[in-house]
Structure 1
Amino acid sequence: MPSPSSTVDATLTLHPDRALPAEPGVRAIAREIYGSVANLPIVSMHGHVPVEWFAEDRPFSDPAELLVVPDHYVVRMFVSQGARPEDLGVRPLDPSAPPAESDPRTIWRRFCAGWKHFRGTPSRFWLEHELVEIFGVREVPSEATADAIYDRIESVLREDSFRPRALLDRFNIETIATTDNAWDTLDAHGRLAAEGFGSRVLPTFRPDAVCHLDRPTWVDDVDLLGAAAGVDVSTYAGFLEALRVQRARFVAAGALATDHGHLGVDTTPLDEAEAARLYAAARTGRTTSAGARAFAGHMLFQMAAMAAEDGLVMQIHPGVLRDFDQAVHRRLGPDKGYDIPLAVDYARGVRPMLEAFGHHPNFRTILFTIDETVYSRELAPLAGVFPSVRLGAPWWFLDAPDAMRRFREAVTETAGFANMSGFVDDTRAFCSIPARHDLARRVDAGYLARLVAEHRLTLDEAVDTAADLAYHLPRLAYRAGDAQ
C-alpha cells in the first residue's frame, strides 16, 4: 500500500483559489478583486535577471540550469537537508577543487526527489506555477516522475517561443530592470536599445562594490569604475566625479533607479577632508572596520545627494549579513544562499539623509527591509510623512503569503496605499517572475477583500486599489512614466 505522501500517481494542478482567504464570503470578494488585476502587465523594477540573456537571446540550456542551479531559495533548502551546494550544480571558484555535479538530469532528479521539502514555502507556490502554467507539466515532482518532467521541460526550452525576449511577451512583462555594476559600460543595454528594447529592459546602477573600503576587490573595482568613466580615481574627488559620469551614462541608457545593499543604513556624512583621508588610505591598503563603516554611511549620503541632482530613485535594502559562512564564500563565491537577516535601526540611520533631502522635489527613495519589527514602528511612519519616501514591498525572506499579509496589516493604517512601491520580485529566477507577481496580487486581493467585508472600503475602491498596487504604483514610485 503506498504511503500517504506518495505522489507517483498524483496530478499537478493549480487551485483557482490558491492563497485567497479561507472564509467563503471574503474569498468570494477576493476572487472578484483578483480577477480584475490578474492579467495586468508586470512592471518588474527591481530584479537580477542578467541583461546578457536578453541581449544574446539564446535558448536556455536545460531544466536544471534554468530552475535549480541559480535559485538560492532552492539550493539553500537542500543544503539544510544535508546536501552540498555542489550537489545542485553550484560550481566552486577553484578549478582544482572537487567539481560540482555537471549532469543536469542528475541535478533535476535530486530536485524532484526532495520536492516535499518545499511544502509550506513560497518556493512551492512559484515552482508549481512555473511547472503548470509555463511548461505544461502535469506530474507531481518525485523520483518516479523526474525524467518525464525533465523531458517535457527540455522540449519546451527548444522552442523559439521560449527565448528570453519572447518570454517578455509571454509573461506580459511591460518593463524589467536589470542590476548592473557601477563600472558597466552598458554595451548590452546599448544593443538592446538599437533593436527596440531600450524602453523595456532598463539598467539599474549598483555602486555597492566601490562604496565599501574593506572589500577585498575594492581597489580593483574602483579602478574599473575610473576606466569606464574615463576619470582618474586616484583621489576622492576623482572617485566622486567618476560616479557622476557613470550615473549620467545610466540615465542616458534609460535607468530609473540605483540599488544599495549595505549591511547597515547609516547615512551620516563625513567631513570632506576625512572622507578624502579614508579614501586615500584605502587606496594604499590601509583601512579599519570603523573607517569602512563610516565611509559606507557617508557614501549613502553622497548617493542621495547625487540622486537629488539626477533624479534616479534610490533603493535601499539593508540588514543582510551576506555570505554568512565564510568557508562557503571562499569556496563558491558570493550570493550562494547563506545570507542571514539582521535587525536594522532604520529611523536613526536614514535621519541625516532625510533631514537633507526628505523634502527635496527631485529626491525619491524606496526603503526595503527584511526586519519585520520596523514596519509599523519606523518605516510606515517615515513613508507616511516624507514625500520622498516610498515603502518597499516585502522582500527576500518575507516574499511569502503570510509575511506579505503581515506587511499590509502592519503598514497600511499609517502609510496608506499611495506611499507603497508596489511589488518587486527581486530575483534571478526569470521564470518565477509571473508566479511571484501572481502571488502578490492574490495576497493583496485577500487583504482588500477583508476591508470590503468589514465595510471599510467599497468593492469599487478595492478594485481600484488592487490595480494601483499591481501596476500603477510601481510606475509612479520609480517614475516610469504617467500611470494613467
Structure 2
Amino acid sequence: MQDYIFNDDFLLQGKAARRLYHDYAKDQPIIDYHCHLPPDEIASNKQFPNLTDIWLKGDHYKWRALRSLGVPEAFITGDASDEEKFMAWARMVPQTVRNPLFHWTHLELKNVFGINEYLSEKNAMKIYGQCNELLAKPSHTTKGLLTEFRVKYVGTTDEPWDSLEHHRRLAAENFSVRVSPSFRPDKVLFIGSDAFFTNIGLLEKASGIAIKDIASLLEALRNRVVFFHANGCRVSDHGLTQMPAKQQFSKALENELAGFLVNKKGSFSDPEAYMGYVLSELCKMYHEHEWVQQFHLGPIRNNNTRLNKKLGADSGFDSIGDAPQALQMSLFFDALDQVDQLAKTVIYNINPSFNEVFATMLGNFNDGSVKGKMQFGSGWWFLDQKDGMEKQLNALSNMGLLSTFIGMITDSRSFLSFPRHEYFRRILCNLIGDEMEKGLLPNDEKWMGDIVSRICYANAKEYFNL
C-alpha cells in the first residue's frame, strides 16, 4: 500500500532520528516493570482462541472509542459473538484517526501478525482469519509472544493475599522471561470501601494473623511483604487520587480502629489519617527490603454511576482528575526522608498540567545515594500517546535529567501491547534526533545513541537490579 505510514521509519522525521532508532533503540530488550498481565495466563502458556479474545476483551481504550461512535454495548462488552465484536471494531478503526488507538492498532497488527495494511470493514474478515491462524501456533501463545518481543522482565500487579503460585511455577521452570510480582495493597488502604472488611479477611487468611488493631494490621502486611520478597518481588505499586496529607495516627484513632475492626459496621472518622499512616509504614518496609515504590496519581475513577453498576469497575468510565498534588507529595516524601527511609520512587502523573510540578518535586529528594533515585514515570494511561510522551519527556528534560530516565511501561492487560515500547522509542529518537539536526544537541551519534539505549533498557536494568 503506497500510502501506508507504518513503515520502518514511522515517526522518524530526519536522518539522525532514523539512525538513533535503528542503531541504538530498536533491538534493545524490554523491561516492562509495571503491567497487569495475568500471571496464570503466562504460567499456563495460554493459547488464545481468536483475535477478539486477545485484543478486544478488557481493553477499555477501545470500548470508550466504540461507545463514542455509537456502537451498542452488545458489540463491546455484551453477548455478541467474538467475530461480531471484531467486525464492529474493524468498521470503526478508520474513524479513530488522531487518537492513539489508530497508531497502536496498526503497530500491533504489523508487529505481531505481519499485517501491513489499514484495518477496515473491507479487509476485516481476511485479517481476522490470518491472525487467528497465527494465534494457533506456539509463537503466539503468551510465552511465545513474550519471547518474540525480547522481553526480559515483567512486573505483574498483585494483591497482598495472592498465593504467587504462578510466579513460583515460572521460576521453577526457568522461563527465559523473569516474571515477578509487584505488591499492591491498595484495597487495605481504602477503609471506606464496601469491600474493606472482605479484603481484611483475605489478608488475615493469607498471613495467618488475626487483624484486631493497627499493630496486627501492620504485622499482617509485613508478613506479606516478607512473603512477596521471598518470591522475587522487588517493587510495590499504589494507585491513588493524591498522596495522603496526614501520616500521624493518634491513640484515640487507634482505639477507634480497634472497635471498627471488631464491630465491622459504621464508618471510620478519619480515612485519610488511616491511609497516610498505614501507607507510610508500608513505605518503610519497602525501604527496608530495598524495593522500588511506585505511585500512580490523579485519576477520577468510575464516574458513570449508571453504567458502572451495569458493567462493573474498569469498564472505561475513568478520567483525568485535577486534585492538588504538590504539597501532599512534599509532606509525604519529606516525612520518610527525615528518617532516611525513602525508597527509590517512581511517580506517574495523569494530568499533563502537573508535569512540571512532578518533575520539580522529585528533584527535591534526590540525595546522591542512587542515580535517578526519584523517577518521573513515563506518560501513563491517557498520556501514553505521542503528545503525552513528548510533554513528559520535555518536562523531565527541563526540570530533571533525561539521561537517568528508566523508560517506558505497557501498564496493560494485553499481550499485544508491547509495541508501545517501540512507539515510545520512536518518539524518543525523533525528539532527540530533531534537536541534533537543529543544532540544539551535539550531532554526535555515539554520544546521543548511548543515552537513548540506556533510556530504552540499561537504566531500568540498573535501577531494578536485574
Length-normalised TM-score, structure 2 = 0.92
1:472 partner amino acid: A
1:46 partner amino acid: H
Q: Specify which of 248, 261, 266 is matched with residue 226 of structure 2.
A: 248
Matches of 2:163 and 2:137, distance apart in 1: 32
The correspondence of residues 184-263 of structure 1 with structure 2, limited to 5 A, is 184-197=162-175, 200-263=178-241
Question: Which piece of structure 1 moves more, 400-409 or 417-426?
Answer: 417-426
| Residue in 2 that maps onto 1:425 | 410
1:137 is displaced (CA, Å) by 2.4
Q: Specify which of 290, 295, 301 is matched with residue 322 of structure 1.
A: 301
Counterpart contact for 2:31–2:460, Cα < 8 Å: yes
Matches of 1:116 and 1:321, distance apart in 2: 29
2:53 partner amino acid: E
Q: Deviation digits for residues 372-405 of structure 1, max 9, x if unmatched? A: 12221x2212232422421111101111112211
1:182 is displaced (CA, Å) by 1.3
| Residue in 1 that maps onto 2:370 | none
**CA spacing shift, 1:179–1:476, aligned 2, 3 Å:** same
The correspondence of residues 37-186 of structure 1 with structure 2, limited to 5 A, is 37-88=25-76, 90=77, 100-186=78-164
1:30 partner amino acid: A
**CA spacing shift, 1:275–1:305, aligned 2, 3 Å:** farther
Q: Find the residue that maps to 1:33 and give its secondary structure.
A: helix
1:183 partner amino acid: W
Are positions 1:276 and 2:215 aligned together? no
The correspondence of residues 436-475 of structure 1 with structure 2, limited to 5 A, is 436-453=420-437, 454-457=439-442, 458-475=444-461
Matches of 1:158 and 1:225, distance apart in 2: 39
| Residue in 1 that maps onto 2:336 | 357
1:29 partner amino acid: A
Question: Which piece of structure 1 moves more, 446-455 or 152-161?
Answer: 446-455
Counterpart contact for 1:13–1:132, Cα < 8 Å: no
Counterpart contact for 1:69–1:75, Cα < 8 Å: no
Question: Which piece of structure 1 moves more, 445-454 or 160-169?
Answer: 445-454
Q: Specify which of 350, 355, 358 is matched with residue 375 of structure 1.
A: 355
1:13 is displaced (CA, Å) by 6.2
Counterpart contact for 2:393–2:402, Cα < 8 Å: no
Matches of 2:58 and 2:3, distance apart in 1: 27
Q: Deviation digits for residues 173-215 of structure 1, max 9, x if unmatched? A: 0111111111111111111111113971110111111110111
Q: Deviation digits for residues 319-355 of structure 1, max 9, x if unmatched? A: 1111111222222221111111112432211223322
| Residue in 2 that maps onto 1:5 | none
Matches of 1:162 and 1:480, distance apart in 2: 29
1:470 partner amino acid: C
1:476 partner amino acid: E
**CA spacing shift, 1:244–1:408, aligned 2, 3 Å:** same
1:372 partner amino acid: P
Counterpart contact for 2:34–2:155, Cα < 8 Å: yes
Runs (5+) with no aligned partner, structure 1: 1-8, 22-26, 91-99
Matches of 2:446 and 2:252, distance apart in 1: 56
Are positions 1:297 and 2:276 aligned together? yes
| Residue in 1 that maps onto 2:243 | 265
| Residue in 2 that maps onto 1:6 | none
1:28 is displaced (CA, Å) by 0.8
**CA spacing shift, 1:119–1:230, aligned 2, 3 Å:** same
State the Cα RMSD in Å.
Answer: 2.1
Q: Find the residue that maps to 1:373 and give its secondary structure.
A: helix
2:350 partner amino acid: I
Q: Deviation digits for residues 422-470 of structure 1, max 9, x if unmatched? A: 211111121121x100011011111211332324333322111101111
**CA spacing shift, 1:107–1:425, aligned 2, 3 Å:** same
Matches of 1:389 and 1:106, distance apart in 2: 46
Length-normalised TM-score, structure 1 = 0.89
Matches of 1:123 and 1:299, distance apart in 2: 38
Question: Which piece of structure 1 moves more, 467-476 or 314-323?
Answer: 467-476
How many residue pairs get aligned? The number is 454
Are positions 1:15 and 2:7 aligned together? yes
The correspondence of residues 332-351 of structure 1 with structure 2, limited to 5 A, is 332-351=311-330
Counterpart contact for 1:370–1:395, Cα < 8 Å: yes
Q: Flag as ranges the 4+ runs of structure 1 deviating above 6 A.
A: none
1:87 is displaced (CA, Å) by 2.1
1:129 partner amino acid: L
Q: Find the residue that maps to 2:375 and give its secondary structure.
A: strand
**CA spacing shift, 1:10–1:32, aligned 2, 3 Å:** closer
The correspondence of residues 304-315 of structure 1 with structure 2, limited to 5 A, is 304-315=283-294
Are positions 1:394 and 2:379 aligned together? yes
Instruction: Indicate the percent of aligned positions where both proteins have the same amino acid.
Output: 25
Counterpart contact for 1:20–1:442, Cα < 8 Å: yes
Matches of 1:78 and 1:189, distance apart in 2: 35
2:18 partner amino acid: R
Question: Which piece of structure 1 moves more, 259-268 or 50-59?
Answer: 259-268
